[in-house]
């Protein structure tokens, strides 16, 4: 295409990731209650056995399993109850052969005992003895010290986005402070003579700013602290001024609009005019998303993304997000899950670029039907109507009604090793 | 089982949902930038056509399609360029037959024109004329006024959790304030003589509080504003005092621990001692999760959930979360996605209760293997190691190595109509 030297999406992603991985990554300690969604900066090590004592898992009696071997309903074994363990307290009694100690669920196992029988499988004799009507196996109804996690074990690996279960594990291990990756500071710059604030009534020819808000929300979801720069008209010097200020205080800059090669596309010129800047690529063989560029200036990455909202979001998800994941040292990448569906209307893949179609899914008995949404540049509500995306290769033959396609379901926030398998 | 009158999970869920649906739902207006994750309280209506003018989608020339019908490379059609449309400004020119107007991507379409040709399919003649070498279809490269969404259309339905694309649509429509469901106030109460704060070093027999933090994080993710009550020892009067205070200021109360039927289980007694309280159920045929109860006192719902962390989280996901969704009027429920996997080790479903096993998934060529995680009551790290869950029915035969199971993948935050289809 005229004026372009497009690179494949995979190459763009690789260049961006390789670059980001080498950039410095700062860390900080945060309280575990503020750690949800943050990324661990190191392996989190369990400081002590968890649990720290042998623990019962049922209400019942702690005893020696060997004592119960001959027990049956007809010939119960009789044990002497020598006392009880109080919840939350040390067990002071020692169980000897022929003895049992009353224990609560979660209580400490008294010394000498090797198992616990549930209360409902016992009864008391007239003289206060404990009658056991079935044998118990050694270890039954006990969690041994360190059974959950021994001291020194990694409870949360480095590079994980901390989820709710991780918060629970931090609490249980007494890890009230945790080292996480410091948030990257992202500045969002929206350009365009026609763009006005959402609160304004647009004059004819004007439209409201969307990208400032979608891109900053995406950047925040990907782990950044974001700042919105003032909207900038299409002018090289105005944009360069804003960029120079943003470079000084940002790790990441996202400029939307003006990154194409038209008369009014000043973004590339402004970005390449920053002193000591290096242009890593300009133009990706992706539809939507062609006018995407990446530059680096010292430890700041600068992405130019398309002005069209759907294209900007697509580029964020396909290129910027994996770059941020690499930068933050994420070892567990979000898994994208795809489902199989039959096309409800034909798809005509672009001849020269890989294309991403947004589709709506409909259930059809036990099948799914995928309806491609209109892809006209500039449409916005297509974003909110889409249930997923269909990826096609450049030059791939037209897909017909009824053809099976893999639909990558949105949002793609699942972790694990499934990638590929579910495609 | 002794002392229990268990109801099926589906029935517990239904009772809770039916009750919650009838409770009052309050709403508030919030700024669209603060609306992410909130639930729309009404259909959000587009106040004006979007876009508000006929808009070009490419850099090129606006013209009358009929003029280009005979155009070919050999016999180009010649048009007169009468001026240009400036980005973000009204188009003052009117296109007459034989004429064209230069237009930027996203610019307003001048009156009289019905299509736009891309700049790269034109050239200028020596005398300044515009040579067109291929015909253009009416409507080509144009988004008509209201094409995205006409005035009066619902852009976001009531009961949706507002996502990032929705934020974009609100901005584009100038809907800077949006009516959402007011957050429910949830109080989390953790009981147990043995439970100490995460920052404490537990004495023998003590354990650190986990549920306060996991349950409050779950409640926040489900749309609540949460408060942690002081931890309470196992005592009916202490718990009743705390409950009375919490009832006055909460929509939802979650009490963890003490809801079983043992000697030290005071939760049921305390909850039923609240004046004018109605016990809706106590005991669910679910493993883990049996000692679950629900009570209602005027407009407050009170759940008793198991003290064991994994059981408490399970009950939250299976019962509390759908209840909160109903209460908040959510019309688009989170979709749970299941994948097929082969068991790596056998599963022995409980005889009397439906059971939920947590599993770890492993890729195995193009297949997945599911490894059941140890389910001993009291283990905590199983939560962080699980990739998904396998549901079994009470009394279902043992599942063997290699048997295919549906694994519901965590986290289950996908929207749409897929539920069931993917199982």
Q: What is the pLDDT of residue B422?
A: 39
Chain B residues with CB under 8 Å of A359 CB are none
Q: CB-CB: which of A107, A171, A368 is closest to B210? A: A171
Mean predicted confidence (pLDDT) in A89-114: 94
What is d(CA B289, CA B298) in angstroms, rounded to the nearest whole number?
A: 25
Calculated CA dihedral for residues A378, A379, A384, A387, nearest 10 degrees: -100
Characterize the bridge pairing of strands A354-364 and A286-287.
parallel
Q: How many CB atoms lie within 10 A of CB A111?
A: 13
CB contact (8 A) between residue A362 and residue B105: no
Chain B residues with CB under 8 Å of A409 CB are 337, 414, 416, 418
Out of A134-148, A390-404, B328-342, which region has the weakest mean confidence (pLDDT)?
A: B328-342
| Residue in A140, A168, A352 to test binding to B, most B beta-carbons within 10 Å | A168
CA of B211: which chain A residue's CA is closest? A168
- Rg of chain A over Cα atoms, rounded to whole angstroms, equals 31
**A423 pLDDT above the threshold of 70:** no
| Cα dist from B245 to B41, B229, B230, B250, B306, whole Å | 29, 10, 12, 9, 22
What is d(CA A292, CA A155) in angstroms, rounded to the nearest whole number?
A: 40
| Residue in A381, A388, A389, A412 to test binding to B, most B beta-carbons within 10 Å | A381
DSSP structure class, residue A32: G
In angstroms, the separation between the Cα of residue A377 and the nearest Cα of chain B is 6
Which pairs with CB-CB distance under 8 Å and at least 24 residues apart come from B199-202? B199/A174, B199/A176, B200/A174, B201/A174, B202/A52, B202/A174
CA of A51: which chain B residue's CA is closest? B207
Chain B residues with CB under 8 Å of A261 CB are none
In angstroms, the separation between the Cα of residue A410 and the nearest Cα of chain B is 7
CA of B59: which chain A residue's CA is closest? A262
**Nearest-5° Cα angle at A199, A194 to A205:** 25
CB contact (8 A) between residue B87 and residue A209: no
CB contact (8 A) between residue B53 and residue A387: no
Q: CB-CB: which of B107, B166, B380 is closest to A168? A: B380
| Residue in A109, A110, A172, A371 to test binding to B, most B beta-carbons within 10 Å | A172
Q: What is the pLDDT of residue A21?
A: 96
Mean predicted confidence (pLDDT) in B227-244: 93
| Cα dist from A165 to A162, B122, B210, B387, whole Å | 8, 60, 10, 12
Contacts of B127 (CB under 8 A, 6+ apart): none
CB contact (8 A) between residue B379 and residue A166: no
Q: What is the pLDDT of residue B412?
A: 38
CB contact (8 A) between residue B208 and residue A172: yes
Confidence band for A421, pLDDT divided at 50, 70 and 90: very low
N- to C-terminal Cα distance for chain A?
31
Q: What is the pLDDT of residue B328?
A: 97
Confidence band for B335, pLDDT divided at 50, 70 and 90: low
The residue whose two tokens read 């584009």 is: B172
Out of A37-51, A326-340, A342-356, which region has the weakest mean confidence (pLDDT)?
A: A326-340
Q: What is the pLDDT of residue B413?
A: 31
Out of A201-205, A329-333, B175-179, B265-269, which region has the weakest mean confidence (pLDDT)?
A: A329-333
Q: Which domains does chain B have, with CATH numbers?
A: 9-26+183-327 (3.40.980.10), 31-50+156-180 (3.90.105.10), 55-143 (2.170.190.11), 335-415 (2.40.340.10)
- Rg of chain B over Cα atoms, rounded to whole angstroms, equals 31
Chains A and B form CB pairs within 8 A to the count of: 318
Q: What is the pLDDT of residue B2?
A: 54
Confidence band for A292, pLDDT divided at 50, 70 and 90: very high
DSSP-derived secondary structure for A386-412: --EEEEE-TTPPPBPTT-EEEEEESS-
Chain A residues with CB under 8 Å of B174 CB are 198-202, 208
Looking at the DSSP assignment, which residues form a beta bridge with residue A7?
A284
Chain A residues with CB under 8 Å of B413 CB are 411, 413
Tell me the pLDDT tens digit for each residue of B63-102: 999 999 999 989 999 999 999 999 888 888 999 999 999 9
CA of B146: which chain A residue's CA is closest? A379
**A254 pLDDT above the threshold of 60:** yes
Q: What is the pLDDT of residue A334?
A: 63
Mean predicted confidence (pLDDT) in B38-53: 95
Our measurement of the distance from residue B119's CA atom to the centroid of its chain's CA atoms, rounded to an integer in Å, reads 43
CB A391 within 8 Å of CB A403: no
In angstroms, the separation between the Cα of residue A367 and the nearest Cα of chain B is 7
In chain B, the percentage of residues whose pLDDT exceeds 70 is: 95
Q: What is the pLDDT of residue A412?
A: 38
Mean predicted confidence (pLDDT) in A89-104: 93
CB contact (8 A) between residue A213 and residue B33: yes
CB contact (8 A) between residue B194 and residue A107: yes
CB contact (8 A) between residue A421 and residue B366: yes
Q: What is the pLDDT of residue A364?
A: 74
Q: How many CB atoms lie within 10 A of CB B5?
A: 9
| Residue in B105, B188, B291, B374 to test binding to A, most A beta-carbons within 10 Å | B105
Which structure tokens are listed for B21? 């649906």
Q: How many CB atoms lie within 10 A of CB B204?
A: 11
Confidence band for A413, pLDDT divided at 50, 70 and 90: very low
Which pairs with CB-CB distance under 8 Å and at least 24 residues apart come from B349-353? B349/B392, B349/B393, B349/B394, B349/B395, B349/B396, B349/B397, B349/B398, B349/B399, B350/B287, B350/B392, B350/B394, B351/B394, B351/B395, B352/B1, B352/B6, B352/B285, B352/B394, B352/B395, B353/B6, B353/B285, B353/B286, B353/B287, B353/B290, B353/B394
Tell me the pLDDT tens digit for each residue of B274-317: 999 999 999 999 999 999 999 999 999 999 999 999 999 999 99
Q: CB-CB: which of A143, A211, A214 is closest to B378? A: A143
Q: CB-CB: which of A164, A176, A307 is closest to B198? A: A176
CB contact (8 A) between residue B380 and residue A172: yes
The residue whose two tokens read 């409980």 is: B350
CB contact (8 A) between residue A361 and residue B418: yes
Q: What is the pLDDT of residue B387?
A: 83
The residue whose two tokens read 């396609």 is: A405
Q: CB-CB: which of A166, A204, A414 is closest to B409? A: A414
Which structure tokens are listed for B237? 């009067």
CB contact (8 A) between residue A379 and residue B148: yes
**B1 pLDDT above the threshold of 50:** no
**B136 pLDDT above the threshold of 60:** yes
CB contact (8 A) between residue B198 and residue A413: no
Chain A residues with CB under 8 Å of B106 CB are 192, 194, 207, 307, 378
In chain A, the percentage of residues whose pLDDT exceeds 90 is: 77
In angstroms, the separation between the Cα of residue A209 and the nearest Cα of chain B is 7
* CA neighbor of A257 nearest in space, from A211, A222, A225: A211
* CA neighbor of A252 nearest in space, from A308, A190, A297: A297
Confidence band for A418, pLDDT divided at 50, 70 and 90: very low
CB contact (8 A) between residue A193 and residue B86: yes
CB contact (8 A) between residue A409 and residue B418: yes
What is d(CA B91, CA A292) in angstroms, rounded to the nearest whole number?
A: 29
Confidence band for B416, pLDDT divided at 50, 70 and 90: very low
Chain A residues with CB under 8 Å of B31 CB are none
Query: Which ipTM value was assigned to this complex?
Result: 0.93
Mean predicted confidence (pLDDT) in B5-21: 96
Q: CB-CB: which of A106, A205, A217 is closest to B108? A: A205
CB contact (8 A) between residue A361 and residue B194: no
Contacts of B417 (CB under 8 A, 6+ apart): A361, A362, A363, A387, B335
Tell me the pLDDT tens digit for each residue of B238-264: 999 999 999 999 999 999 998 887 777
| Cα dist from A324 to A24, A33, A131, A225, A356, whole Å | 12, 24, 64, 12, 21
| Residue in A111, A164, A265 to test binding to B, most B beta-carbons within 10 Å | A164
**B336 pLDDT above the threshold of 90:** no
Q: What is the pLDDT of residue B162?
A: 92
Tell me the pLDDT tens digit for each residue of A22-49: 999 999 999 999 999 999 999 999 999 9
Mean predicted confidence (pLDDT) in B319-339: 85
Q: At what angle do helices A211-221 and B164-173 cross, to 10 degrees?
A: 160
CA of B410: which chain A residue's CA is closest? A414
Q: At what angle do helices A164-172 and B211-221 cross, to 10 degrees?
A: 170
Q: CB-CB: which of B51, B376, B378 is closest to A207? A: B51
Q: What is the pLDDT of residue B207?
A: 93
Q: CB-CB: which of B172, B211, B387 is closest to A208? A: B172
**A253 pLDDT above the threshold of 90:** yes
Chain B residues with CB under 8 Å of A203 CB are 88-90
Q: What is the pLDDT of residue A276?
A: 96
Which structure tokens are listed for B121? 């399919």
CB contact (8 A) between residue B368 and residue A418: yes
As a whole number, the mean pLDDT across chain A is 91
Q: What is the pLDDT of residue A362?
A: 82
CB contact (8 A) between residue B89 and residue A368: no
| Residue in B33, B86, B106 to test binding to A, most A beta-carbons within 10 Å | B106
CB contact (8 A) between residue A156 and residue B107: no
| Residue in B165, B167, B173, B320 to test binding to A, most A beta-carbons within 10 Å | B165
Q: What is the pLDDT of residue B134?
A: 92
Give the burial class of B244: count Cβ atoms within 10 A of its Cβ; 0-12 exposed, 13-18 middle, 19 or more buried: middle
CB A298 within 8 Å of CB A274: no
CB A375 within 8 Å of CB A357: yes
Q: Please give the residue that has the higher pLDDT: either A332 or B132.
A: B132
Confidence band for A422, pLDDT divided at 50, 70 and 90: very low
């Amino acid at each position: 295409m005229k004026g372009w030297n497009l690179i494949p999406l995979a190459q763009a992603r690789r260049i961006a990731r390789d670059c980001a991985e080498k950039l410095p990554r700062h860390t900080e300690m945060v309280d575990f209650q503020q750690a949800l969604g943050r990324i661990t900066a190191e392996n989190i090590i369990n400081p002590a056995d968890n649990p720290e004592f042998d623990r019962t898992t049922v209400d019942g009696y702690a005893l020696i399993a060997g004592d119960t071997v001959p027990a049956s309903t007809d010939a119960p074994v009789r044990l002497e109850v020598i006392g009880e363990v109080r919840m939350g307290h040390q067990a002071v009694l020692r169980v000897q052969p022929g003895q049992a100690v009353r224990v609560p669920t979660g209580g400490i196992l008294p010394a000498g005992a090797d198992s616990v029988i549930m209360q409902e499988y016992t009864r008391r004799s007239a003289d206060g003895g404990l009658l056991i009507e079935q044998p118990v196996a050694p270890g039954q109804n006990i969690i041994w010290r360190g059974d959950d996690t021994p001291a020194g074990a990694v409870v949360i690996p480095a590079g994980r986005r901390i989820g709710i279960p991780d918060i629970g594990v931090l609490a249980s291990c007494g890890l009230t402070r945790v080292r996480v990756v410091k948030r990257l500071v992202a500045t969002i710059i929206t350009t365009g003579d026609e763009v006005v604030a959402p609160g304004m009534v647009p004059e004819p020819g004007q439209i409201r700013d969307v990208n400032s808000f979608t891109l900053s929300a995406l950047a925040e979801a990907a782990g950044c602290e974001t700042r919105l720069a003032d909207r900038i008209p299409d002018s090289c010097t105005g944009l360069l001024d804003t960029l120079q200020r943003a470079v000084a205080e940002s790790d990441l800059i996202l400029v939307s609009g003006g990154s194409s090669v038209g008369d009014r596309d000043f973004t590339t010129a402004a970005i390449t005019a920053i002193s000591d800047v290096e242009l890593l690529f300009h133009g990706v063989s992706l539809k939507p998303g062609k006018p995407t560029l990446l530059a680096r200036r010292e430890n700041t990455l600068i992405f130019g993304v398309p002005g069209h909202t759907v294209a900007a979001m697509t580029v964020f998800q396909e290129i910027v997000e994996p770059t941020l994941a690499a930068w933050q040292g994420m070892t567990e990448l979000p898994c994208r899950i795809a489902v199989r569906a039959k096309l409800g209307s034909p798809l005509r893949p672009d001849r020269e670029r890989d294309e991403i179609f947004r589709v709506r899914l409909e259930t059809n008995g036990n099948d799914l039907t995928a309806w491609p949404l209109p892809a006209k540049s500039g449409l916005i509500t297509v974003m909110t109507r889409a249930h997923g995306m269909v990826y096609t290769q450049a030059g791939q033959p037209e897909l017909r009604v009824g053809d099976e396609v893999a639909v990558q379901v949105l949002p793609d926030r699942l972790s694990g090793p499934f990638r590929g398998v579910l495609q």
